[in-house]
Structure 1
Amino acid sequence: MSSISIRKAVLSDLETLLELEQGVIKAERPLDPFLGKGELNYYNIPEMISNKNTHLLVAIVNNEVVASGYVRVENSKIYHKNVKHGYIGFMFVKENFRGQRISNLILDSLKNWAKENSLKELRLDVYSNNTGAIKAYERFGFTKSLVNMRTEI
């Protein structure tokens, strides 16, 4: 197995990060009939790289960006015990590099950054029918909370 390193994303990673974003969208299209048609973008990646309240990471194998993930500082609802929390997103590993626990390395780094920034809680959203991702997040220590429901009218 090749050596895996985790580092903060930089603007020169933008082209690859845009490809990873399309990988996320491709993976989620079959899970979400409410996604729009054609090319979509979920993220403003240059803003994420420069925003001090967002920590966007990439995983590197043999000088190739193979995975991504971020944590963003968000305000919690006024009735939650933690005033702020870290929101995890853009978790994606290129298909050829899956099964090496790269997402865990990214999540560990994101968790450490969140702790260094005095956050006490991490949250994320995952499709209820994305069983592989749910299992991976549960192995990391996440537990299911609310279920978001919708219907087309």
Structure 2
Amino acid sequence: MDGIKTRRATTDDLPVLDNFLQLLVDAERPFDETIKEGKAIYYDLRMLIESDDAELLVLDKDGTLVGCGYALIQKAKSYLKYREYAHLGFMYVVPEYRGMGLNQRLIDGLKQWVLSKGVREVRLEVYEDNTAAVKAYEKAGFKKLLSTMRYEIR
């Protein structure tokens, strides 16, 4: 089809994934003025690769990574109906490969992994002003649940 394979990330992928992480941070800075300047680390990528409670998938086009995303099983708050859920994050597709349904392919692969772990609740966070990402997640079946608000006291 498009020659792009979805596979589990390996530690050999870490240099490219580290770069993807900084590209993601740079893309999110316009939505969040509280992200510090310079290198910012959102995730422990090695842990996501090595943990039994996480699945980090990459999109591989002929040996070149063009996207990634992870699912991490986490304990739920005691007041919720479920005991654990999967948090999706690090959803990134290289700009020239966007609009090809690759984000959906990543989400589908992560959902399969989540179900294989016996978990049915999946959550993620997205900046409300990132309308392209919001639309992509809504297309994948996600619904808005809660807004985080902030105020800086000066």
TM-score band w.r.t. shorter chain: over 0.9
Which residue number in structure 1 is paired with residue 108 of structure 2? 108
Structure 1 residues without counterparts, runs of 5 or longer: none
2:29, 2:107 → 1: CA distance?
Answer: 24
Which stretch shifts more, 38-47 or 96-105? 38-47
Question: Would the aligned equivalents of 1:85 and 1:122 in 2 still touch at CA under 8 Å?
Answer: yes
Which residue pairs with 2:53 in the alignment? 53
Structure-to-structure mapping, 1:64-103, within 5 angstroms: 64-103=64-103
Residues of 2 paired with 1:38 and 1:59: CA distance? 26
Aligned to 1:14: 14
3-state SS, counterpart of residue 103 of structure 2: helix
CA contact (8 A) 1:8 1:57 kept: yes
Q: Supply the distance in 2 between the matched residues of 1:43 and 1:147 (Cα, whole angstroms).
A: 22
Please report how far the alpha carbon of residue 39 of structure 1 lies from its aligned counterpart in structure 2 after TM superposition.
1.5
Question: Structure 1 residue 2: deviation in Å?
Answer: 2.9
Following superposition of structure 1 onto structure 2, how do residues 140-151 of structure 1 map, counting pairs within 5 Å? 140-151=140-151
Q: What's the TM-score, normalizing by structure 2?
A: 0.97
Q: Identity of counterpart residues, as a percentage? A: 37
Q: 1:28 is matched with which residue?
A: 28
Question: Hey, what's the Cα distance between the residues in 1 that align with 2:72 and 2:95?
Answer: 25
Distance 1:115 1:38 in 2: 37
1:23 deviates by 1.1
The answer (yes or no) to whether the contact 1:74–1:87 under 8 Å persists in 2 is: yes
Q: Contact (CA 8 Å) 1:2, 1:62: kept in 2 or not?
A: no
Question: 1:62 deviation in Å?
Answer: 1.9
* Matched residues, number: 153
Q: Residue 54 of structure 1 aligns to which amino acid in structure 2?
A: A
Task: Give RMSD over aligned pairs.
Answer: 0.9
